[in-house]
Chains A and B, each alone.
Chain A
């Protein structure tokens, strides 16, 4: 499902970007990634929204995705074409939601430090490597159990495979 290396131009955010800003509660009536993407980052205005839609990588400060447990905070990013989020740190439920919806989320403070808005950022999750404008930064690769979920495209597709194997 997932290529080992994903990336492209990045859009940069500060600390503690919360789930209500990523996807306002009023849009949780949908679970469709594309529908949700239309409203991703709406509170921050159309310029930020356009930037996110043209950037496959989000680079953020500490505590990205803090707030609600809404899984759509991850799926709306997938719908907007985001392939990876690189942050100094994540709020824990958001991190889980990324893994469980198949969105690459890596903690790599050094890469965040190095990245400027608009830089090319590439992430290789198997190698545990983030490249920022040609410079490389290491992070601890996912444990095997999480990597399997991520590479299946999320928890539901992963579980579907597991159930199919058990049925055989």
Chain B
């Protein structure tokens, strides 16, 4: 009996059924390329063709280095702009839009049952809306532009059943860091990760995004939360009626490589320590570690509710002297929302440096550290040298923990402020 991924890839491959390990040619519904788009275009030039299979399936978002910092990047971005205009690529967003994943979801382009490839490993995030999303190289996106097809190995599936209610100050981010610590950075390599149970069902789409995004750090090929009324309402708000998509659910008798049961009511805030995402400790073990910078950003945790959560702690308080607090909203829509409801002002008055939307410091675009410095970040990676000096350190945690840490200048349990 098929899992989610077996059903969705069988459909995209035009087959009645597929089995784990099988290599199939699938026809993705959407091809996302971000700042790597210029590389895709260069690869197309090498290929010597200008004929695209279906320009309406191509989506480009200029997110990693936005706006351009150098003439080279400006040139690369112009190449993309001109290419999009020449080929009538309507799904093109420029340097003002924000992080590709968020933009596509906010625009209602990601729908249940879709198969989506992206030039970004965190394309697993599309599972938050019941879609299959996976990261591929830029040459693969180029090949798909031309042929409309891409080879995929059908993965086995890991089922995570999550029950319980978390205490205030503990979030989906903490759960995912904890899970990554337990299962390790290759705990789900080549696997499709399905999140089931009353906990994911209780979450907003934004929190589900955080979960599916972080599943990448388990090595997952894709992630999935079953679509429900929360999903349908999110899509309806974006003008996408239920008739515009086909929800896909795993069979109740589906075969999983592994099943993990998690109970979250006792979970504490978690922190991933340098330099791997699976080096995870409960907050109590790292509280008091001094930081030079706090970064609230990335496709993992810079959505509207993430910034609201951070602002709840920062409102009426000040960032500790000598600490830099960078806030990079995930998208232009998020900026508009926080400006409207006063969150922007609260963050600014607390001493935050609020940048334009995009990937920002998570992609090394600003926010670099000097030798020996420490950043507490809400992003999804803490690899050595990712933010400046190879001799700097990154700790990862939730927006609430980041806000509490910014106030104290040292890693702090957010529950102390609630």
Binding site for B on A (CB under 8 A): 16, 18-21, 24-26, 28-29, 31, 42-43, 62-63, 66-71, 74, 89-93, 96-97, 100-101, 143, 145-146, 154-156, 159-160, 163
Q: A62-B186, A92-B219, A160-B48 are in contact. Are A25 and B364 (CB under 8 A)?
A: yes
B166, CB-defined interface residue at 8 Å:
no
Report yes or no: A156 in contact with B142, Cβ–Cβ below 8 A: yes
Report yes or no: B23 in contact with A146, Cβ–Cβ below 8 A: yes
Interface-located stretch among B205-213, B242-250, B384-392: B384-392
CB distance from A155 to the nearest CB of B (A): 5
Sample of 6 A–B contacts (CB below 8 Å): A20-B383, A20-B386, A42-B385, A63-B186, A69-B136, A156-B46
Report yes or no: B39 in contact with A71, Cβ–Cβ below 8 A: yes
State which of B42, B43, B119, B185 has its C-beta within 8 Å of the C-beta of A69.
Answer: B119
Report yes or no: A156 in contact with B136, Cβ–Cβ below 8 A: no
Complex interface: chain B residues within 8 A of A155 (CB): 139-140, 143
Complex interface: chain B residues within 8 A of A67 (CB): 121, 381, 383
Report yes or no: A156 in contact with B139, Cβ–Cβ below 8 A: yes
CB distance from B37 to the nearest CB of A (A): 12
Complex interface: chain A residues within 8 A of B385 (CB): 20-21, 24, 42-43
A/B pair count, beta carbons within 8 Å = 114
Q: Bound complex: CA of A160 vs CA of B136, how far in Å?
A: 19
Report yes or no: B139 in contact with A71, Cβ–Cβ below 8 A: yes
Report yes or no: A156 in contact with B39, Cβ–Cβ below 8 A: no
Q: Bound complex: CA of A86 vs CA of B386, how far in Å?
A: 26
Complex interface: chain B residues within 8 A of A160 (CB): 46-48
State which of A63, A89, A96, A146 has its C-beta within 8 Å of the C-beta of B137.
Answer: A96
Report yes or no: B42 in contact with A31, Cβ–Cβ below 8 A: yes
Report yes or no: B139 in contact with A101, Cβ–Cβ below 8 A: yes
Q: A21-B383, A43-B384 are in contact. Are A69 and B189 (CB under 8 A)?
A: no
Report yes or no: B121 in contact with A42, Cβ–Cβ below 8 A: no
B292, CB-defined interface residue at 8 Å:
no
Report yes or no: B137 in contact with A159, Cβ–Cβ below 8 A: no
Interface string of B126-154 (1 = CB under 8 A from A): 00000000011111101100110001000
Which B167-185 residues have C-beta < 8 A from chain A? 185
Complex interface: chain B residues within 8 A of A71 (CB): 36, 39, 137-139
9 smallest beta-carbon distances between A and B, as pairs: A71-B137, A20-B383, A63-B186, A69-B135, A43-B385, A69-B121, A43-B390, A97-B137, A25-B364
Q: Bound complex: CA of A143 vs CA of B364, how far in Å?
A: 38
Report yes or no: B185 in contact with A63, Cβ–Cβ below 8 A: yes
Complex interface: chain A residues within 8 A of B70 (CB): 29
B49, CB-defined interface residue at 8 Å:
yes
Complex interface: chain A residues within 8 A of B76 (CB): 29
State which of A66, A69, A90, A154 has its C-beta within 8 Å of the C-beta of B120.
Answer: A69
State which of A16, A20, A28 has its C-beta within 8 Å of the C-beta of B185.
Answer: A16
Task: Name which residue of chain B comes closest to A66, CB basis.
Answer: B185
Complex interface: chain B residues within 8 A of A146 (CB): 23, 151
State which of A24, A31, A62, A159 has its C-beta within 8 Å of the C-beta of B146.
Answer: A159
Report yes or no: B143 in contact with A159, Cβ–Cβ below 8 A: yes
Report yes or no: A163 in contact with B47, Cβ–Cβ below 8 A: yes
